[in-house]
Amino acid sequence: MARRIPTARLNNSQEIPVMGFGTGTVWYKPDPTVGFSQDAVEMVKAAIAAGYRHLDSAELYYTEEELGVAIKECGVPRDELFITTKVYQGVGNIPQALESSLKKLQVDHVDLYLLHDPYKTMAEGVTLEDAWKDMETLQRACKTKAIGVSSFLRPHLEKILKVAEIKPAVNQIEFHPYYQRTEDYVRWVQQQGIAVQSFMGLAPITWGKGGPLDGVLSEIAARHGVPESAVLFRWTLNQDVISITTARTVSRFEDYLQALDLQLSEEEMERISTVGRSHHLRVYLNEHFSSDDRS
């Protein structure tokens, strides 16, 4: 039986499921010549059958076509799904980029559209302020219900907030115990009325296996009779951060969704956070930062 995943309320009053299924990482294609993946379609349909309604893709992932087929075939009404995609290559003409994404997704609008990467946007000669004005136009045209950003630091967000007539609804960032951000950045974003989404939430047990949290997570997971992945997702959710993840096997869904029933004590939360801060791991966008930069 499909689980019901709770929702959070965005600053436009839209409800967003607090756990989402992403079509990047393991389903990401290095370029569009890789071809259509029926396996990805089946995995998205399995995620929907398990209870996921929040589905995340991006122009950069080259998985929008697969997500579109899965949406069409899943048997769940469109208005029960929360669909996100992001603009990356197409920042020079954002309205055109979204039209292309909508065609691949086989829908007439998305629920959330994100500027995928501030560094890519600026590298294409587009200011963040101008890009944001294009995003606002798309929301006003009802091509997307909400707009937001991804991988933005405070200086990037501050540029947008100075000109925004529509405030970003979301900032999707890499966030996990080994990369908790400096200067209470997550809390600052939330104080602006912007929801924080986490990707790479399982990094301590995937990319960071062998780190100082190994024993801590194993101990806490055993105490509660849940997988370590559920502990990590609960740690994220307890901070009012929305979690985006992916999977290559259906069995992972049951593991992940155990986070919904898990209750971690304040002591367990603090232990994960404290030990996590003793080690630094950034998986994404390393080329823009020094090895010890935690911003």
Catalytic residue among 54, 116, 156, 176: 116
**Beta carbons of 20 and 242 less than 8 angstroms apart:** yes
Q: How confident is the model at residue 240 (pLDDT cuts 50, 70, 90)?
A: very high
Confidence (pLDDT) at 32: 85
Q: Work out the number of other CB atoms within 10 angstroms of the CB of residue 156.
A: 18
Mean pLDDT of 99-112: 98
Res. 50: pLDDT tops 70:
yes
Q: Judge if pTM exceeds 0.85.
A: yes
Res. 63: pLDDT tops 70:
yes
Closest CA to 177 of 290, 294, 265: 294
Confidence (pLDDT) at 79: 96
Q: Is 103 in a helix, a strand, or coil?
A: helix
| DSSP character at residue 279 | S
Is residue 116 part of the annotated active site? The answer reads yes
Q: What mean pLDDT is reported for the chain? A: 96
Is residue 176 part of the annotated active site? The answer reads no
Mean pLDDT of 27-43: 92
Closest CA to 272 of 83, 10, 157, 223: 223
Integer Cα distance of 148 and 94 in angstroms: 13
Catalytic residue among 52, 54, 61, 176: 61
Confidence (pLDDT) at 25: 87
Integer Cα distance of 233 and 236 in angstroms: 5
Res. 191: pLDDT tops 90:
yes
Integer Cα distance of 69 and 290 in angstroms: 41
**CATH of the structural domain 8-202+240-248, one choice from 3.40.50.720, 3.40.50.880, 3.40.50.970, 3.20.20.100:** 3.20.20.100
| Every domain of the chain and the residues it spans | 8-202+240-248
Confidence (pLDDT) at 229: 98
